[in-house]
Amino acid sequence: MMPSCLSILFRALRIEWRETKRTLFPPTPIEAGLFLFFFLLYGCIGYRMLFHTELIDVPNGGAGSYLGYDNLFHLHTRGGAFDVSHPFFGIFHLLKTLLIILLTTLFKEKTSGIICLMLMNLLITGGLVLIYRYLKQIVQISSRRALLLTGFTGCFFTTVVLSFTTETYPFSFFLLVFSLLMLSREYKLTGYIKGRTVLFLSFLCGGITITNAAKPAMALFLNKAPLWRKIRTGFKVMLPFVVCVAVIMGFYTLKAKLFNPEGPSPIETTGQLGQYFIHDETLGKQALVDFWGNTIISTPLTQQLVGKEVVLRPSEYLHSWNNAVIVFLLFLVAASALLNLKNKYVQLLLMFLSIDFVIHFIIRYGMNEAILFGGHWMFAVPILLGWLYTRLPVRMYRVLDWVIIGFFILTATINTMEFMRSFLFA
């Protein structure tokens, strides 16, 4: 019985590995050029940040360029709620710790940071290439328009910041785009989402941020089956992940009580996250300006108090035209979602976004960390703009082209000026 179960498990893993390779490779020459362009661009920004400013490795606990995560060794030193919230991230945590020990022994201290920055760069750049591939393979728009939308996304303030931020959000950005593409390809080829695919992707996404595990599971609702069967399948698929998380949380709790009995338990540490819940009159401003607007187009960064920590945050928009631009972009994205409500691929994307909507707008968590949380959802902007083309008459394509070109130029110009002012000449 046991060998039979193991053979089924390994066979499923081989199948998912084959599908993973089909989703990721082979790149076209356009994709290779796109990857190389953004990898070099983000690499130059990250390298200058690391070696020519003090904004990454900040002395005396000052506010840094990570917008709240200003310590280069943040993953190694924080622990507590971080470990509980991201139980499978420990693999990267261990490898990174070993690399830091090795590199700081052989070279200067900051040399080890190059490894971390390159990995974050690879994740963000890879995610952009997958957005391009989704627009080509699933939305099926022209290469020129797919490049335009991908370039626009590459200029988002959050996208650039995450390319040099050693945190979990770059992992989430890449894995969520990868999951969306893999699920969409499977549905396009077979008209059905397999349980093993959902299990595989839930462990990948949930291993970085627990709430993201539910996003691939939502894809089961695309299948043509009674609701009770979809719920039963979802329960069976998610049960191994839930059990694994419970075991790891119990392990961390036990470890904390045995080795650090006087310190706060993981549950108590998790309770400190309460400072990131927004329940006051600022929700409206946070939703429009911070959560949506500053994720895409930044305003001048200022030192602000978030919880008990002084961090760099974009200030409020200074001019009415800023609000008009972000409201117009939001209108186009929302219009595309409404016009494509019967589209199964858009339904899948909206199911992904529904998890973030509940977390941020219902529970009201993380609205004051929106710039980094944007890694969980900002890929929806170019994808929905891509689907908007499919709902417009052909004669309107050129109009939408020029609108997106305008967004692209404006976003690239303003964000470049802000990076030069706040980071490169710090």
Average pLDDT taken over every residue of the chain: 77
Name the residue range of residue 173's domain.
2-424
The pLDDT of residue 9 is 47
The pLDDT of residue 240 is 78
More confident residue, 215 or 252: 215
The pLDDT of residue 209 is 79
Is pLDDT at 188 greater than 70 in this prediction? Answer: yes
The pLDDT of residue 11 is 57
Number of domains making up the chain: 1
Report residue 83's pLDDT band, with 50, 70 and 90 as the boundaries: very low
The pLDDT of residue 401 is 95
Is pLDDT at 280 greater than 70 in this prediction? Answer: no
The pTM (predicted TM-score) of the whole model is 0.84
The pLDDT of residue 109 is 52
The pLDDT of residue 379 is 95
The pLDDT of residue 293 is 84
pLDDT, tens only, 119-173: 889 999 999 999 999 999 999 999 999 999 999 999 999 999 888 877 778 888 9
Q: For the chain, what is the HEC assignment? A: CHHHHHHHHHHHHHHHHHHHHHHHCCCCHHHHHHHHHHHHHHHHHHHHHHHHCCCCCCHHHCCCCCCCCCCCCHHHHCCCHHHHHCHHHHHHHHHHHHHHHHHHHHCCCCHHHHHHHHHHHHHHHHHHHHHHHHHHHHHCCCHHHHHHHHHHHHCCHHHHHHCCCCCCHHHHHHHHHHHHHHHHHHHHHHCCCCHHHHHHHHHHHHCCCHHHHHHHHHHHHHCCCCHHHHHHHHHHHHHHHHHHHHHHHHHHHHHHHHHCCCCCCHHHHHHHHHHHECCCCCHHHHHHHHHHHHHHCCCCEEEEEECCEEEEEECCCCCHHHHHHHHHHHHHHHHHHHHCCCCHHHHHHHHHHHHHHHHHHHCCECHHHHHHHHHHCCCHHHHHHHHHHHHCCHHHHHHHHHHHHHHHHHHHHHHHHHHHHHHHCC
Mean pLDDT of 375-394: 94
The pLDDT of residue 79 is 37
Mean pLDDT of 374-378: 90
Mean pLDDT of 389-417: 93
The pLDDT of residue 75 is 40
Which of 63-77, 94-108, 297-311, 331-345 ranks highest by mean pLDDT? 331-345
> Do residues 120 and 163 make contact, with C-beta atoms less than 8 angstroms apart?
yes
Report residue 47's pLDDT band, with 50, 70 and 90 as the boundaries: confident
CB count, 10 Å around CB of 210?
18
pLDDT, tens only, 207-220: 777 888 889 988 88
More confident residue, 384 or 420: 384
The pLDDT of residue 73 is 41
High-pLDDT (> 90) share of the chain, %: 30
More confident residue, 273 or 236: 236
